[in-house]
Structure 1
Amino acid sequence: MKLVSVETPEKSVCKMTFSASAEELETASNAVYERTRASYTIKGFKKGEADRAQIEADRGEHTFWYDAINDLMDKDVPALYDAALAEHGFVPVDAPVYDLVSVKKDEGFVATATVALQPELNLTKTTGFTTECVTPEVTDKEIDSVLERRRNAAAELVPHKGPAVKGNIVHIDYEGLLEGKPFQGGTAQNQTLQLGSGRMIPGFEEGILGHKAGEEFDIFVTFPARYHAKDLAGKPVIFKIKLIDVCVRQIPALNSDFAKKVANVDTLDELRAQVKQQLHDGKHASALNRAKDQILTQLADAAEGDLPSTLVESTYQLQMQQIQQQLQMQRLSLDRYLSQIHETRESFTAKVRTSAEKTARVRMALLQIAQQENLVPTEEEIDKQLAERAERTKKTLEEVKAQANVHAMRRNEGIRKAADWVIEHSTIEDK
């Protein structure tokens, strides 16, 4: 492969164009074919028996191109890219974005790498920012809520002598029989079940009610018609039950004995004071982080100049990805979330883009400060971090270095140190 051109289509943006010949593409494609041929199943051939021409006739002539392009890019482009940056004195501040421009069998392919370069910002102010750290008061209701959670966590199971009732926790052995034969997933030993939880199929938990510990009995139930296991859906079955024990969940009283057990203090008042302090510390830490963010927001406002559009776009895409991941953890789609907060997709994404621009501006201002104040870590400091990582991960230093993006590490560590420096040289008033 070769570097065709280096351009700056806009301020603080570099675009490199690379190309590979038809011969290079063909050689790399054939290597991909040899590496992957065993995985192809083509009609009329046993798996792995079809040759390249037969596979391409069935799947298309481009079948092996894209893996071949990736192989060539991975092998040749990093060195060409680094050499071009060094030759032009460019300082990238983000990972490059690669695009495939064209690919033809008789011409090879052309690809580009677009990367954001460090902008020169006019920092009208770097120290002396001021803000307030407002820590909300801890309420009795919040303390009561924590104590209630601790009581529930400290609950114990004690035997219940009478017949099982709804709310009891039982331990059971059971075996399910369909037409007199055990079925898959229908047997369990020492299973814990809270009666009335609705965890089991309809009729199962109800069939245990009224029985006592030690009893053995049968439950006759029918699986729901829409049950996920097709072979059981709508089928009547028998469960043979052995009721090992019946228990009630006993929550401890909120008294001095509870205080000694959970917190090693003598009185309930001391426990409440301890919980109050813990809640205060958590609220204060959050308030302090918000105040630090406000300081950095003021720095962004004091940083004048244009940012590379590609940097803002990649920051926006990263923030959107993080939002999507958080919503997925809550089993929410973005559209459903937006309907809950009564906001349109257009207004929401506009806010995220504004936030991304602010984030990128802060990072570039901090990087500039890191360079001005000699806060960018040295090679020796980076090597020390990599050695510590190698020790933690039980890998060799060479393996860790091969996987690490040293330029990004140095940049991110410099930005972190600069953020601490700006905050140390500003004022946060506690309230």
Structure 2
Amino acid sequence: MKLVSVETPEKSVCKMTFSATAEELETASNAVYERTRATYTIKGFQKGEADRAQIEADRGEHTFWYDAINDLMDQDVPALYEAALKEHGFAPVDDPSYDLVSVKKDEGFVATATVALQPELKLTKTTGFTSQCVTPEVTDKEIDTVLERRRNYAAELVPHKGPAVKGNVVHMDFEGLLDGVAFKGGTAKDQSVQLGSGRMIPGFEDGILGHKAGDEFEINVTFPKNYPNKELAGKPVVFKIKLHDVCVRQLPALNSDFAKKMGKETMEEYRAFVKQQLFDGRHGGALNHAKDMILGQLADAAEGEIPSILVENAYQQQMQVIQQQLQMQRMSLTTYLSQIHETRESFTAKVRAAAEKNTRARMALLQIAQQENLLPTDEEIDKQLAERAEKTKKTVEEIKASTDVAALRRNEGIRKAADWVIDHSTIEEKVESK
């Protein structure tokens, strides 16, 4: 492969064009064929018996091209790319984006690598920013809520001889019968259930009410029509129950004994401890927001053009994070937007604006890191790599081979510069009364 051209289609963006000859493409394609031929099943042949011409006749002449292109790019482009950057004095600030421009059997292929370069920003201000850290006050009601929740966690189960009522926790054996025959998943030993929780199918928990420890009885219930197991859905069944015990959840008193179990001498001390816990959690979030506000002001003070490809990559990454977070909540973006009364266009515009601002702040911080000599030294980088190696039980060489050291150096410099800007700014502390 060879480097065809190096262009700057826009400020702070480099586009390199690479090409491979038809002969190089053919040699690489044949290597892919030899490596993968055993995986192909072609009609009229046993698996792995068809030759290359027969596979291409069935699957198309391009069958091995794209793996071959990837092999050639992985083999030749990194060295060509690094040499071109060094020759032109370019400083990339992101991974390159590769695109296949054309591929023909008798011409070979052409591909490009586009990468964002560090922009030259005019930093009108780098220190002396101000923001407020507003921490909401912790109220007695909020402390009481936490205490009640922790009190419930500490509740003990105490057996009693009376009949079971809602709220009791029972331990039992049961066997479910469908038409007199035990069905799969319908039998359990020493099962714990809180009556009234709705954990079991409708009618099951109600059937236990009024019974005492030691009772053996039957419950007639019907599975819901929409029950996931179609063999049981809508079917009437009988559960044979053996009730081992009926327990009451006994809540501990909020007194010095409770406080001592929680590591404090008195309830006054424990209340103060809970209050400080709540405040520290809120203060941490408020402080991070205040720091973000300072970095936002830095972005506003950084004048100059930001590479569009860098902003686009940041936007795509942020959208991916949002989608993943929504998937964890089993929610689609469309549903989420309807809940917050936002159109897709306005929402994505806000995400893109935030991506542009965050990118501008990062580039400003990188420039500050260089100006203030905050980029990590080779010794500091080696120390980080050694620590990673120790944690992952790998050699330093293995870690270094799988690490983009340039990106690690940039990111660490940006982190140090962020601390530097914040340290040279003012955050006003304020407690917000409710």
Matches within 5 A, 1:2-401: 2-266=2-266, 268-401=267-400
Alpha-carbon separation, structure 2, partners of 1:115 and 1:258: 61
What is the deviation of 1:162? 2.4
What is the deviation of 1:50? 4.5
Rate the CA distance shift 1:29–1:277 in 2: closer, same or farther, 3 A: same
Shifted more, 296-305 versus 360-369: the winner is 296-305
Matched AA of 1:152: N
Residue-by-residue CA offset, 1:91-125 (whole Å, 9 max, x unaligned):
00011111121222333222211110000001111
Alpha-carbon separation, structure 2, partners of 1:396 and 1:378: 21
Alpha-carbon separation, structure 2, partners of 1:23 and 1:329: 49
Shifted more, 363-372 versus 73-82: the winner is 73-82
SS of structure 2 residue aligned to 1:349: helix
TM-score, normalization by structure 1: 0.92
Rate the CA distance shift 1:128–1:242 in 2: closer, same or farther, 3 A: same
Alpha-carbon separation, structure 2, partners of 1:419 and 1:71: 40
Alpha-carbon separation, structure 1, partners of 2:51 and 2:224: 51
What is the deviation of 1:27? 3.2
What is the deviation of 1:133? 2.1
What is the deviation of 1:144? 1.6
Rate the CA distance shift 1:240–1:106 in 2: closer, same or farther, 3 A: farther
Unpaired runs of 5+ residues, structure 2, are: none
Determine what percentage of the aligned residue pairs are the same residue: 81
Residue-by-residue CA offset, 1:271-300 (whole Å, 9 max, x unaligned):
222211222222222222122112111111
Rate the CA distance shift 1:146–1:76 in 2: closer, same or farther, 3 A: same
Matched AA of 2:301: A
Alpha-carbon separation, structure 1, partners of 2:67 and 2:386: 34
SS of structure 2 residue aligned to 1:63: coil
Alpha-carbon separation, structure 2, partners of 1:160 and 1:107: 87
Residue-by-residue CA offset, 1:45-99 (whole Å, 9 max, x unaligned):
5554544444444443333332332222222222221111111111000111111
Rate the CA distance shift 1:212–1:125 in 2: closer, same or farther, 3 A: same
SS of structure 1 residue aligned to 2:136: coil
Shifted more, 226-235 versus 350-359: the winner is 226-235
Matched AA of 1:322: V
Residue-by-residue CA offset, 1:104-163 (whole Å, 9 max, x unaligned):
233322221111000000111111222222222111222122112211221222223223
What is the deviation of 1:233? 3.4
Matched AA of 1:11: K
Alpha-carbon separation, structure 2, partners of 1:309 and 1:148: 53
Alpha-carbon separation, structure 1, partners of 2:232 and 2:49: 42
Alpha-carbon separation, structure 1, partners of 2:422 and 2:401: 34
SS of structure 2 residue aligned to 1:127: coil
Alpha-carbon separation, structure 2, partners of 1:174 and 1:56: 62
Matched AA of 2:126: T
Rate the CA distance shift 1:218–1:55 in 2: closer, same or farther, 3 A: farther
Matched AA of 2:92: P
Rate the CA distance shift 1:53–1:190 in 2: closer, same or farther, 3 A: farther
TM-score, normalization by structure 2: 0.91
What is the deviation of 1:236? 4.1
RMSD between aligned alpha carbons?
2.3
Unpaired runs of 5+ residues, structure 1, are: none
Alpha-carbon separation, structure 2, partners of 1:214 and 1:105: 82
What is the deviation of 1:380? 1.4
Alpha-carbon separation, structure 1, partners of 2:286 and 2:51: 65
Rate the CA distance shift 1:195–1:60 in 2: closer, same or farther, 3 A: farther
What is the deviation of 1:37? 4.0
Matched AA of 1:213: A
Rate the CA distance shift 1:65–1:192 in 2: closer, same or farther, 3 A: farther
SS of structure 1 residue aligned to 2:193: strand
How many residue pairs get aligned? The number is 430
Shifted more, 3-12 versus 50-59: the winner is 50-59
What is the deviation of 1:251? 2.3
